[in-house]
A and B are shown apart, each in its own frame.
Chain A
């Protein structure tokens, strides 16, 4: 579903992605982790073309992201993305947040879009909040709305960029529950996250990045039980014993 081949990227003189290659098969969950500044967010933003990259190729469902002939908006409409800071549109009600792209991008009728939005809100347990504005919701609620907004486009895969890093600890669970449910239903997901419990539970593979490189790309159990590199060992010991 997602194929990343030999991707390199520079910010001026600094190389932020070094020859990165990995993939996510249909129905698979892959967790990307690594210390901050390791390039994991940059890599995931390359997947839907929010960040351009200088070398390599990324294809989603066989369509090249960097090909100038690719209709990027159309491709992005099929790839859902959930952000660290939710990025709900604060000037729109929850319902409008869910409806906007369905109508403007997919061309659904307003009634159809509202119905789809309501069903998804129900699913993330927020049906009664449809008329509220994002600023009136807690962080955990906002992130669940953001997931519903991504799902409303009926995406073929979902990208998560540290979806729980900006949340208060007591709200992380409600967001992870939704993500676990999606994973168990067979949604293709690429998740940048430090939630190792989530990774153990649903990830097929874990990709470990450091300094812009993919240092390890291993099946989940192998990664946790016996990380091959020193850097991954150090990272895991820090993150699991803090």
Chain B
């Protein structure tokens, strides 16, 4: 391989300015974390609610929940980014539309976080529905028989059990959020992938750049995995899974 390796490149200043390439990557990592964590929060809140709705006796609620899931999981994430960024503002009332296009602060970040959050929420909803469905019907009956309302039954009896069951698939989703956040570069969020492309063009040291970025993404996803494993261990029910404590 005829390549001029230069691992010191990260500490060198960029061509146009007094920052180093490392500063670029740190900025990128910051935006990647911001987009991913915001999106994950949105995905959990909406996903749990929509997933729960899809298991209620109300046909209307089930239909609404199903529509949400199908809408967001059948369109490629990249296309969804473009839809929210370029198309959605056109359908707002004129003044709002103008504001979104011209004055909205952190427009790229907000769009990316919402888009990734909605997309991921459809996947969380699907898992929560499966988790609720896997509980014995008697749990639901026992909760109602005690006089709990359906809402209280979900809050105190059904969801706490269903969420424990779906922690392993939710872990994959949490990891996916970090990886999927790279799509946000397409609408101009200054996240890791965006910074990597910029650094590659500016420094012409593409291999070092992408190896470094690969490592950073790996650390993010792996940390997410460990955090979820910790939550799984903390919420384990004595006598239910594994050996009694």
Contact = CB atoms under 8 A, between A and B. Distances in A.
A136 interface: yes
A104 B148 contact: yes
Contact of A135 (B142, B156, B164, B237): B237
B146 A135 contact: no
A121 B146 CA distance: 17
A73 interface: yes
A135 B147 contact: no
Contacts of B143: 89
A192 to B, nearest CB: 14
A100 interface: yes
Nearest to A103: B156
Nearest to A72: B144
A105 B239 contact: no
A50 B141 contact: yes
B146 A91 contact: no
Nearest to B146: A101
A105 B237 contact: no
A134 B160 CA distance: 15
A136 to B, nearest CB: 4
Given A87-B138, A91-B161, A104-B152, A48 B239 contact: no
Nearest to A48: B145
A50 B145 contact: yes
A10 B146 CA distance: 26
Interface in A144-159: 149-150, 153
B93 interface: no
B238 interface: yes
Interface string A52-94: 0000000000000000000011101111110111011111000
B146 A153 contact: yes
A45 B141 contact: yes
B142 A87 contact: yes
Interface residues on B, range: 20 to 34
A224 B237 CA distance: 46
A90 B147 contact: no
B148 A105 contact: yes
Nearest to B57: A52
Given A50-B145, A73-B147, A135 B152 contact: no
Given A87-B139, A90-B240, A133-B240, A76 B160 contact: no
A157 to B, nearest CB: 12
A201 interface: no
A85 B137 CA distance: 11
A149 B142 CA distance: 10
Contacts of B76: none
B153 to A, nearest CB: 9
B105 interface: no
A72 B147 CA distance: 8
Contacts of A78: 147
B136 A135 contact: no
Given A100-B156, A104-B156, A132 B141 contact: no
B56 to A, nearest CB: 15
A149 B138 CA distance: 15
What are the 5 tightest A-B residue pairs by CB atom distance, in nearest-first order?
A: A135-B239, A77-B147, A87-B142, A136-B239, A101-B146
Given A79-B145, A104-B156, A132-B238, 15 more contacts: A72-B144, A74-B147, A80-B145, A81-B141, A83-B141, A85-B138, A91-B160, A101-B148, A105-B152, A133-B238, A135-B237, A135-B240, A136-B238, A136-B244, A153-B147
